[in-house]
Structure 1
Amino acid sequence: MEARIRAAGALTAALARDPHRPAYHFTPPAAWMNDINGALYWKGRYHIFYQYNPHGAYWHLIQWGHASSTDLVHWVHHPVALIPDADGPDRKGCFSGGALVSKEGVPVLIYYGNPDGLCLARSSDDLLIEWTKDPGNPVIPEPEEGSADFGRYTMHDPCGWLANGQYYAAVNNRDPKGRGDAAFLFKSEDLCTWEYVDVFYQSRRPWTEGGEDCAVPDFFPFGDRHILLFCSHLQGSQYYIGEVRDERFFPEIHGRMSWEGGHLGGPRTLLDPNGRRVFFDWVRELRGNDRERESGWSGAMTVPRLLSPGPGGHLQIDPVPELEVLRLDARRHGSIEVSADSEVAVEGIGGDCLELAIEIDPREAREVGVKVRRSPGGEEETAVSCDVAAAVLRVDVSRSSLDREIRYTRYRSLQPHLPECEQYVTAQEGPFELAPGEPLVLRIFLDRSILEVFANRRQCVTQRIYPTRTDSTGISLFARGGAARFKSLQAWNLAPTRM
């Protein structure tokens, strides 16, 4: 026992010293996390569940980790919610899923029990600590080869909801076979007996690639439309906005939340008592399997975001205002003129745990932006910019780290043997167009190795960066192809959260 206590203490000290471990983004106490699962607001607390291996910083025999918060900022770690049963339908892992509240007012987790099918678990305590698996699991079995349903649908990564007195579950097409992402729909009156309805939706090729699937779906009302959030194992987190007719979803708008070189891959939302749709996602690592194992931890969660309908029915994205309680040492700069093809260092502002709020008039500049985690000589730096001409929000990571082993793959596939995974990029770019005369308004959250960039409330790019130098903490402003005016710049150090 004493040896185990010493080992735990040594790990805690090592994690505290790790320059890449986030200070205010949620992470487990140690070890591995991936997809966010089953987010739920219950009796005054925000609950998140996540794919978890408590035994090391690697993916293996997955369980459901659990944490809760009263303010979306400070989190309490709870005991593991779901553990595979050695002789049960989830014996190879409690894979991803969602949460709902039953007609009787009971919280229910719905998940894929590997290898046998869709499973349920229920809780009756206020903190959702104790979970009882349904004795009828799997309530929707994985189709066996030779059965009538084999080939019609697959069981994987369900989400569940209650609408008009009917339970529904949408599950992932885990093997698209070049046909692209799709989801399969089931319905039930009592959560016990389920009926296969049909294909819930089928993607359109201009929007997604043939090798993309609809992993970890999350489906919910959105204004006068619905949203289907999901992640493809090839290209990461994305969404559809569309209409439901006759138990079928018809996408009208498609958008991504992660692009080539990006890091998001397991989204989930909840609805809070104020009617806010709160979004969470898994931010994956880029240090390599061996380094992650050695460090003792892997994975983090984005800062919570608010999703709301924007102009034209598009998605509006904001960090939750609760994060403002972390602000320290407010600093403000007035107007700063930056001439064409030049760079201006910002004195008195720097660090690796910051929030920046910047408003920019691009004027005639082709590209304007800010560099963070910049070393004095510029050997390390990450450039955040709006390329006005190309209509993209860009995070340039070509000089983010002197560590040559840090490389950004074009695709985020969890199947590294694929040839596509040997293709690399030096920047992540999300579509973003400024209207004539519209200023660029940036909210930037920097947390050691995590960078989240919000632009004009309608785009967000998340990036992992791994600077090696302790003096890579500077900030500078730049303009290319023309002069620009930085109308205002506010900065705060951000305090670490309690976890």
Structure 2
Amino acid sequence: MDSEKAADNFTLSFCLAPQEYSDQGDGIFSCFNEAERKGLYIKLMKHGKIEVGFGNGREIFFFSSINKHTEKNTWNMISVIFRKDAGWCDLYINGILSNRRQFPRHMRLDWPEGKLCLGKYMADSTYEEKKTGVFCGWMKGILVHDYCLSFAEAERLHAQYPCGQKVAALSINRAAWKNDIQRPAYHLIAPGKWMNEPHAPVYYKGNYHIFYQANVHAPIWNHIQWGHMISTDMVHWRDLPLALETEEGTLDPDGCWSGSALIDKNGLPRIYYTAGNNEKFPNQSVAMAVSDAEDIELTRWHKQDSPVQEQTEGWMGEFRDPFVWLEKDTYFMLVGTGDENNGGGNAILYSSGDGLDWTSHGFLLDYEYEKNEELGHVWELPVLLPLRDANGNIYCHILLLCACQIENAAVETYYFLGYWNSEEKSFHKFHEKAMLLDLGNGTFTGPSGFVTPDKRSVLFTIAQGKRKGEEEFYSGWAHNGGLPLELSIAEGKLRLKPIREIYALKKKKLLELADVSSGEANRQLALIKGNRLWMLLCTDCDEAGIVTCCEEQRIKVYYDRKTGRLGAEDEKQICMGKYRGTEDLVALDGGEIRMEYFLDHSMIEVYLNEQKSMSLRNYIRGTERTVRVSEGMERITKLEVWEMENAY
């Protein structure tokens, strides 16, 4: 197309099938310089809208589709017709004039210098690489005419293309990352792209289900939907289609954010989730979706037309992550927000007879923010689970939360132990200071939990990626789940350990030793390399540690019985763990130190006597990790090392 003619009259046509959207819009055609107000762009916006913008060097004109939008997973034909003499820019979608933008008659379009981009939006002449603006879908036809199509010609052109024909929904192939030495292989992980917190675990007719915050378009937080996986054992997960997607003209045009799931009084699965709508304030409400009874894999969810709860208290605009459970014929719900009384975060407690009409009982927890400033000004993902003793009796409950809007601290998962009284609708905490389950300094976050059919309280979490955004973007995936944990109580203290099903992944025993020194252990460990390992280290010494190595890189996790400190450091002896003070100490006055170690590519998880954990990231520049134990242990009573299977 001659640039001089293109300044006068032209038609650009595209046959395309979008498969995902982004909040900012994705480029179909871009030869545009926003600063100079020159050129033209065509963007695919959320919910299939098309936006067109153009400039004459002095002013930018833009408009969006109205009468017709493109459809997801469907072939569409769009034409942009620039009519200089008439002063019209027309947008046709699937043979329909969707909208028109008027401009001064005889105005010429001024094209900028630089590259023309197809399938990516670029707004300036430098064309620096950006993470957003990339079209996600198929294009099968691009036509350029150096004249204006008439109305009849545009209709005939569109009729020649397969408008309305369906294409397969976007499916991400896990095999694309099979050689990625950083990507976990037996942890809960999305097939690719973006994964935020796993949530809403539920068991239904022989299967466990877990959902997660997903962006299948790109490995960034954007245009969040509900991903969905299914399993018979909470270890081997199979990918299912998205469970919830944002929809224009509904409660959730701007996001289907975190929530929970349960089986209702009638035996039917329900989802309660945070519906995002930026056209309202507050922009968050609690919405509900139900599944068909005959839908064993829970792939069809039907959203309710109205919110089940809107915000009336707490920090207005901060109201999310409903956690709902059924107890003694009553539904209860916690929703995270901020507490205007003490300035910190809190959760609002609701009750209901049917799970639809809710009564508020105010803030769940009475606490002093000055003693718990690391909990932030808003709570996300509040969870309340029973803790059972060795006899299976409920001894107390645990209230878990993810701190948000924190000053001078990393995001963490904290907990309070206490008595929950369903009749009085109250929670009485045992301690003033919030406690940490994990001392990995911000890797272990985003709690969600449920009670399994065999009465175990199981906790799911997100393992934060800890890489720079650019590294995550070019790797093609971001974040994964932590190992699912069983929570219980013993001697009045919280106990946590990986679910027992995880040990079915122990594939091959690589080493077993008893009553040896650390020197002898390391001589034999030197022969072992791998990226998926399980290790058990037991000693009656006062200090114990496990070191993960790759070339010059090193991460050491250690426990000192004399100080009670569980810590971690890198090869430069820089502290990697979290330590606030005495509340984070672990007292093992006598008996054996038992450290259980899980290595899954970039994931390291260490569990100390089922009392505290340490979750860390271990990105390497080599190809394989090695492990060894800390020097100076005179007697290791037991040491086992196993290779772990890939769970996918």
Query: What is the TM-score normalised by the length of structure 2?
Result: 0.65
Aligned-residue offset at 1:116: 4.2
1:370 aligned residue: 546
1:92 equivalenced with 2:254 (yes/no): yes
1:469 equivalenced with 2:599 (yes/no): no
Superposed CA deviations along residues 98-152 of structure 1, whole A, max 9, x for unmatched, are 112212221111111112411011112221111111122x121234xxxxx5758
2:562 match: secondary structure: coil
1:231 aligned residue: 402
Residue 150 and residue 468 in structure 1: after superposition, are their counterparts in 2 closer, same or farther (change >3 A)?
closer
Superposed CA deviations along residues 35-63 of structure 1, whole A, max 9, x for unmatched, are 12111011111111111111110111211
1:243 equivalenced with 2:419 (yes/no): yes
The answer to whether the 8 Å contact 2:271/2:289 transfers is yes
Aligned-partner Cα distance in 1 for 2:260–2:339: 20
2:645 aligned residue: 495
1:31-430 → structure 2 map (5 Å cutoff): 31-114=193-276, 115-124=283-292, 125-136=295-306, 138-143=307-312, 149=313, 154-174=318-338, 179-205=343-369, 206-209=371-374, 211-222=376-387, 223-233=394-404, 234=406, 235-245=411-421, 246-253=424-431, 254-259=434-439, 261-312=441-492, 314-330=493-509, 331-338=511-518, 346-362=525-541, 365=542, 367-375=543-551, 379-398=552-571, 426-429=576-579
Aligned-partner Cα distance in 2 for 1:351–1:373: 11
1:448 equivalenced with 2:598 (yes/no): no
Q: What amino acid is the match of 1:180?
A: G
Superposed CA deviations along residues 360-394 of structure 1, whole A, max 9, x for unmatched, are 121xx5x421212343xxx2111111022331211
Superposed CA deviations along residues 372-430 of structure 1, whole A, max 9, x for unmatched, are 2343xxx2111111022331211223559xxxxxxxxxxxxxxxxxxxxxxx9533459
**Structure 2 segments unaligned to the other structure (5+ residues):** 1-16, 18-136, 140-166, 277-282, 388-393
RMSD: 2.8
Residue 212 and residue 386 in structure 1: after superposition, are their counterparts in 2 closer, same or farther (change >3 A)?
farther
The answer to whether the 8 Å contact 1:216/1:230 transfers is yes
Aligned-partner Cα distance in 2 for 1:265–1:19: 23
Aligned-partner Cα distance in 2 for 1:39–1:10: 22
2:70 aligned residue: none
Superposed CA deviations along residues 58-101 of structure 1, whole A, max 9, x for unmatched, are 11121111101102221111111111111212111011111122
Aligned-partner Cα distance in 2 for 1:333–1:120: 54
Aligned-residue offset at 1:462: 0.9
Superposed CA deviations along residues 326-359 of structure 1, whole A, max 9, x for unmatched, are 21221212222248xx986723333221000110
Residue 46 and residue 210 in structure 1: after superposition, are their counterparts in 2 closer, same or farther (change >3 A)?
closer
Superposed CA deviations along residues 132-178 of structure 1, whole A, max 9, x for unmatched, are 11122x121234xxxxx575895211111122222221111158797
Aligned-partner Cα distance in 2 for 1:14–1:75: 17
Aligned-partner Cα distance in 2 for 1:181–1:425: 28
2:613 aligned residue: 460
Residue 82 and residue 315 in structure 1: after superposition, are their counterparts in 2 closer, same or farther (change >3 A)?
same
Residue 45 and residue 333 in structure 1: after superposition, are their counterparts in 2 closer, same or farther (change >3 A)?
same
The answer to whether the 8 Å contact 1:261/1:425 transfers is no
**Aligned residue pair count:** 455
Aligned-partner Cα distance in 2 for 1:113–1:302: 26
Q: What amino acid is the match of 2:529?
A: G
Superposed CA deviations along residues 416-472 of structure 1, whole A, max 9, x for unmatched, are xxxxxxxx953345934343332111111000100111111111111111111225x
Query: Larger relative contact order (C-alpha < 8 A, sep ≥ 6)?
Result: 1
The answer to whether the 8 Å contact 1:112/1:158 transfers is yes
Aligned-residue offset at 1:13: 5.5
Identical positions, percent: 28
The answer to whether the 8 Å contact 2:564/2:588 transfers is no
The answer to whether the 8 Å contact 1:97/1:157 transfers is yes
The answer to whether the 8 Å contact 1:158/1:171 transfers is yes
Of residues 61-70 and 107-116 in structure 1, the stretch that sits farther from structure 2 once superposed is 107-116
Q: What amino acid is the match of 1:227?
A: I
Aligned-partner Cα distance in 1 for 2:572–2:301: 47
Which structure has the larger Rg over C-alpha atoms?
2
Residue 153 and residue 311 in structure 1: after superposition, are their counterparts in 2 closer, same or farther (change >3 A)?
farther
Aligned-partner Cα distance in 1 for 2:637–2:475: 42
Aligned-partner Cα distance in 2 for 1:399–1:94: 42
2:635 aligned residue: 485
Q: What amino acid is the match of 1:213?
A: V
Q: What amino acid is the match of 2:403?
A: S
Residue 110 and residue 13 in structure 1: after superposition, are their counterparts in 2 closer, same or farther (change >3 A)?
closer
Aligned-residue offset at 1:310: 1.7
1:22 equivalenced with 2:184 (yes/no): yes
Aligned-partner Cα distance in 1 for 2:341–2:220: 28
